[in-house]
Amino acid sequence: MDNIAGRKSHLTWAVNISVILMVLIWLIPTIGLLVSSFRDREQISETGWWLAPLPVEMTFRVRTSPEGAAQQNGLWVLEGNVFATPDMEEQLGDDDAELTRFGTRGVNPTEFAAGETAELRGGGTLTVNSDGSWRAESEEEFGPRGPTIYFAAEVPPQFTLTNYETVLTADGMDRAFINTLTVTVPATIIPILIAAFAAYALAWMEFPGRGLLIAAVVGLLVVPLQLALVPLLSLHTSVGIGQSFLGIWLAHTGFGLPLAIYLLRNYMVGLPRDIIESAKVDGATDFQVFTRIVLPLSFPALASFAIFQFLWTWNDLLVAKVFLPSDADSQVMTVKIADDLLGSRGGDWGILATAAFVSIAVPLLVFFTMQRYLVRGLLAGSVK
């Protein structure tokens, strides 16, 4: 097939460029989330994440105090540095900022360029230099408050872990993370066991109604989850499980089974007949054939279903919303983000980005390390 495009270099170029474009569209939004999660929250609202490595021009306001005013040559003089206030020091850390413009009124905080002299409203003048130092002069004594200085400064880009600290400590994502893990692990392991036995029976045992059962499994693959919510929740409530972790484990087990049986059966049916039959001739029972031969040989299929089920339960919002109580003690991360953070932290982009990234980090890790099995499972499940 190489010779088709190989001869036509312009076509190869077109192919390369379109793939690059597509990869960019597919990748950029996620990168944006990742970059935003490390940015200072003030900077997020000032410039887009794509400008993150560049200095950010931000406007500030500093109230000065008239203390320390001294009389020089008949003028009252007040001096200071706008960057030396506790607030600004906290914002800037060890970085140097450069003041570009300043102003004396909130309506026009960037009226004057650095180094210019501005008239103060209460009388007198104010000069602010680019290093932040300022000097106010007045013929009369300063009032109870010194002049308020508005200024814009080029602040160097700041990357912090503050968002992660906030999300993981103050916002309860740590608890939600553990809850998600608690839901996911049993909900992944238990269906595999049940499905493996069923798949073996459907693949290698002869009994009446086998074809019908396989068809039923295929049919159940597509039953919308929504149907199950109301009847099962009332069933759980009536047998005393109610909304609980046990309930959600059972629910995920039930909902994951059709795919598990389908995938595993498709795989097991393709195992070589000779091995299984010779084992049976040698006197192995079905149970032995299953545990000693079929199960070890089916490892790739088991792994790919495990990845599917893991991703599905980790990422699930619907089942968690219905089968788990909605209090903070049992919220999983998806519910936490969708119901809690989006409401209360709706405008706090740094926190949202961080929470989202915390919730997708584990699936991404699983994805990139186990991609091979995932692809194999997809292929076994869809094309024969």
Partner 1 sequence: MSPVLQGAATILIGVFGCIGYFYASNIILDRVLFPARGPKAGRNINRANQVRPWLFLFPAIFALGLYLVYPVVGSFYRSLFDRAGDDFIGLGNYIDLINEPTFRTAVFNNFLWILVVPAGSTFFGLAAAQLTDRLRWGNIAKSLIFMPMAISFVGASLIWKFVYANNADIGLINAAREALFGAEPLDVLQIPFWNNFFLMFILIWIQTGFAMVILSAALRGIPEETIEAAIIDGANPFQVFFRIKVPQIMGTIVVVWTTITILVLKVFDIVYTMTGGNFGTQILPSYMMGYMFRDNGRATAVAFVIMVIVLPVMVWNIVQARREQR
Residues 303-322 interacting with partner 1 (rule: CB under 8 A): 311, 314-318, 321-322
Please identify which residue in 230, 278, 328, 344 interacts with partner 1, judged by CB under 8 A. Answer: 230
CB of 290 to partner 1, least distance (A): 8
**Site string (37-56) toward partner 1, x via CB under 8 A:** -------xxxxxxx------
Residue placing its CB nearer to partner 1 in the complex, 114 or 337: 337
**How far apart are alpha carbons 285 and 379 in whole angstroms?**
31
Q: Answer whether 328's CB lies under 8 Å from 175's CB.
A: yes
CB of 278 to partner 1, least distance (A): 18
Please identify which residue in 27, 54, 84, 328 interacts with partner 1, judged by CB under 8 A. Answer: 27
Task: Please choose, from the candidates 149, 107, 99, 101, the residue with its C-alpha nearest in 3D space to the C-alpha of residue 124.
Answer: 149
Residue placing its CB nearer to partner 1 in the complex, 120 or 220: 220
User: What are the C-alpha distances in Å from 292 to residues 204, 269, 289?
Assistant: 14, 16, 5
Site for partner 1, residues 60 to 99, rule: CB under 8 A: none
Neighbours of 29 (CB within 10 A): 9
DSSP state of 347: T
CB of 255 to partner 1, least distance (A): 6
> What are 164-168's contacts with CB under 8 Å, separation 24+?
164/37, 164/354, 164/358, 166/351, 166/354, 167/351, 167/354, 167/355, 167/358, 168/358
The rounded radius of gyration (Å) of the Cα atoms in the chain is: 33
CB of 137 to partner 1, least distance (A): 38
Q: Answer whether 104's CB lies under 8 Å from 120's CB.
A: yes
The position carrying tokens 């306001």 is: 61
Is residue 275 at the binding interface for partner 1, with CB under 8 A as the rule? Answer: no
User: Using CB under 8 A, which of the segments 96-104, 135-143, 191-199, 270-278 binds partner 1?
Assistant: 191-199
Q: Answer whether 155's CB lies under 8 Å from 56's CB.
A: yes
- Report DSSP letters for 285-322, one per residue: -HHHIIIIIIHHHTHHHHHHHHHHHHHHHHH--HHHHH
User: Using CB under 8 A, which of the segments 85-93, 134-142, 162-170, 184-192 binds partner 1?
Assistant: 184-192
Is residue 279 at the binding interface for partner 1, with CB under 8 A as the rule? Answer: no
Is residue 245 at the binding interface for partner 1, with CB under 8 A as the rule? Answer: yes
Is residue 351 at the binding interface for partner 1, with CB under 8 A as the rule? Answer: no
Site for partner 1, residues 192 to 221, rule: CB under 8 A: 193-195, 197-198, 200-202, 205-207, 210-211, 213-221
Task: Please choose, from the candidates 42, 54, 58, 47, the residue with its C-alpha nearest in 3D space to the C-alpha of residue 110.
Answer: 58
Residue placing its CB nearer to partner 1 in the complex, 104 or 354: 354
Neighbours of 140 (CB within 10 A): 10
**How far apart are alpha carbons 263 and 384 in whole angstroms?**
11
Is residue 190 at the binding interface for partner 1, with CB under 8 A as the rule? Answer: yes
User: Using CB under 8 A, which of the segments 26-34, 108-116, 127-135, 145-153 binds partner 1?
Assistant: 26-34
Residue placing its CB nearer to partner 1 in the complex, 126 or 352: 352
Q: Count the residues of the shown chain that bind partner 1, applying the rule CB under 8 A.
A: 120
Site for partner 1, residues 114 to 173, rule: CB under 8 A: none
CB of 378 to partner 1, least distance (A): 5
CB of 126 to partner 1, least distance (A): 30
Residue placing its CB nearer to partner 1 in the complex, 135 or 280: 280
DSSP state of 244: S
User: Using CB under 8 A, which of the segments 11-19, 97-105, 132-140, 144-152 binds partner 1?
Assistant: 11-19
